[in-house]
Amino acid sequence: MGGLELQRTVKALDASLPVIVVTSADDFVSRSRAMEQGVFAYLTKPVSGDVLLRQITAALGRRHPSGDTENG
């Protein structure tokens, strides 16, 4: 299963779950498709630990345990 297929599967199970893609595919088409499908962040390898941690923290901050987003 590829990353975008996994993202679609995750969204089908829980649409409120933020998805962060970490990939070596650094091209416009891949990034655009991922963003259109609703990924929270699209990071290309190599990713620094600081950048990944910031994105995870931001993604978790947007989701309450109930599944509702903080701003609506």
CATH code of the domain containing 56:
3.40.50.2300
**CA–CA distance, 2 with 39 (Å, rounded to integer):** 14
Q: pLDDT tens across 26-48, in order?
A: 899 999 998 998 899 999 999 99
Per the model's pLDDT, the better-predicted residue between 50 and 66 turns out to be 50
27 φ/ψ angles, rounded to the nearest 5 degrees: -130, 155
What is the reported pTM? 0.76
In a domain, 44, yes or no: yes
Q: pLDDT tens across 50-65, in order?
A: 999 999 999 999 854 4
Expressed as residue numbers, the domain containing 10 is 3-61
Which two three-digit tokens encode residue 38? 């609703």
How many independent structural domains does the chain possess? Answer: 1
Closest C-alpha to 12, from 42, 37, 29, 35 = 37
**CA–CA distance, 15 with 35 (Å, rounded to integer):** 14
C-alpha atoms less than 13 angstroms from C-alpha of 10 in its C-beta half-sphere: 18
